[in-house]
Amino acid sequence: MWRLLSLFWVYLAQYLKARMAYRYDFLVQGLTDVVWQLVNLVFILVVFTHVPTLGGWSRDEILFIYGYFLVPYGIFACLFNLWDFQERYILRGEIDRVLTRPIHSLAQVCLENLDPEALFGVVTGLIIMGYAGYRLGLDLTWYDPLVFLLLVVGSVLVYAGIYVAIAAIGFFADAKTGIAPMVWNLQNYGRYPVDIYNRLIRIVLTWILPFAYVGLYPSSYFLGRETYYVYAAATPVVGAVVFALGLWAWNAGVRRYRGVGS
């Protein structure tokens, strides 16, 4: 674990050195993410000038959930930048090089693709949470920051598990499957209260592709929504289980991998 952490710093420093040669690009990349997050924010702000509540949730509560939603996503997107894994590593055969490296292949792939620009989203998320929390007059106890960290780690693991499993499909399929964009769009369901969806979608978001654990459920703990406390408490466990499944799929893929010639 310590070795991974030191490697992480080395790769990060290397990445930043390369990136700072093109500072403008770095800034643009970071800002484009922020712009997209602002669009969603505008949606919430505008809609709530017309209605008092969204399925029994106030504007500031919805904002708080959205703010929380951005934090684990930013951390996940920085660490697990696997979007074009299949194309780069399987179809072009770069995975062969990765498999000869002394650390776990998933760790190696993630380290090579660190995306620190995504961390801009964490900052936006914290600002939105801070604003909404202040307006709601939430009081924090001394252990709440620790709970927050624990829940965020759980949410990051949920994302990581799902997308690692999807990347692992790349070991089995010959061509692009188009599953990742579908799941990416589905995850946006997690930033609103699940009680607005129908039963089927609620079940999917809680048990199958558990995106309710990256936004709504953990935020419920801070918002004092006691109906969801059990789910909030389960977030780290769900994260651990989903990540274990993702890792298992990845390892199965690596075992099955036979190369793509030349």
Partner 1 sequence: MRSPERNPWWWCRPAAGLARMWTALRPYVEWVRLRFLLMLAYRVNYYSGIAVYTINIGAYYFLWKALYQGETTLGGLTATQMTTYVAVAWMARSFYFNNVDREMAQEIREGRVAVELIRPYNYLVVKAMQALGEGLFRLCFFSVPGMVLVSFLLPVDLPESPHTWGLFALSLLLSFVINTQLNLLTGLMAFFLLNNEGLMYAKRVVVDLFSGLILPLSLFPEWARAILVLLPFQAISYLPTMIVTGAWTTAQIEQALLVQLVWSLLLVVPIRALWVLARRKLVVQGG
Which of 112, 258, 76, 244 is CA-nearest to residue 165? 244
One-character DSSP codes across the chain: -HHHHHHHHHHHHHHHHHHHTTHHHHHHHHHHHHHHHHHHHHHHHHHTTT-SEETTEEHHHHHHHHHHHHHHHHHHHHH---TTHIIIIIIT-THHHHHTSSS-HHHHHHHHT--GGGGHHHHHHHHHHHHHHHHHTPPP-TTHHHHHHHHHHHHHHHHHHHHHHHHHHHHH-SS---HHHHHHHHHGGGGS-GGGS-HHHHHIIIIIS-GGGGTHHHHHHHHT-GGGHHHHHHHHHHHHHHHHHHHHHHHHHHHH------
Shortest reach from residue 90's CB to partner 1, in Å: 18
Interacting residue with partner 1 among 10, 13, 16, 42 (CB under 8 A): 42
37-41 LR contacts (CB < 8 Å, sep 24+): 37/70, 37/121, 37/124, 37/125, 40/66, 40/191, 41/66, 41/128
Interacting residue with partner 1 among 130, 172, 188, 226 (CB under 8 A): 188
Output 59 or 239, the one with its CB closest to partner 1. Answer: 59
Output 28 or 127, the one with its CB closest to partner 1. Answer: 28
Q: Is 186 in the site for partner 1 (CB under 8 A)?
A: yes
Phi, psi of 53 (to 5 degrees): -140, 160
Q: Is 55 in the site for partner 1 (CB under 8 A)?
A: yes
Point out which span in 105-113, 156-164, 175-183, 250-258 binds partner 1 (CB under 8 A). Answer: 175-183
Shortest reach from residue 73's CB to partner 1, in Å: 16
Q: Is 174 in the site for partner 1 (CB under 8 A)?
A: no
The Cα–Cα gap between 203 and 198 comes to 9
Interacting residue with partner 1 among 20, 51, 100, 208 (CB under 8 A): 51
Point out which span in 3-11, 13-21, 43-51, 97-105 binds partner 1 (CB under 8 A). Answer: 43-51
Output 178 or 261, the one with its CB closest to partner 1. Answer: 178
Q: Is 46 in the site for partner 1 (CB under 8 A)?
A: yes
Tell me, by CB under 8 A, how many residues bind partner 1. 34
Q: Is 200 in the site for partner 1 (CB under 8 A)?
A: no
Output 201 or 241, the one with its CB closest to partner 1. Answer: 201
Q: Is 169 in the site for partner 1 (CB under 8 A)?
A: no
Interacting residue with partner 1 among 1, 20, 49, 102 (CB under 8 A): 49
Point out which span in 11-19, 125-133, 171-179, 218-226 binds partner 1 (CB under 8 A). Answer: 171-179
Footprint on this chain of partner 1 (rule: CB under 8 A):
24-25, 28-29, 31-32, 35-36, 39, 42-43, 46-47, 49-51, 54-55, 175-179, 181-182, 185-186, 188-189, 192, 196-198, 201
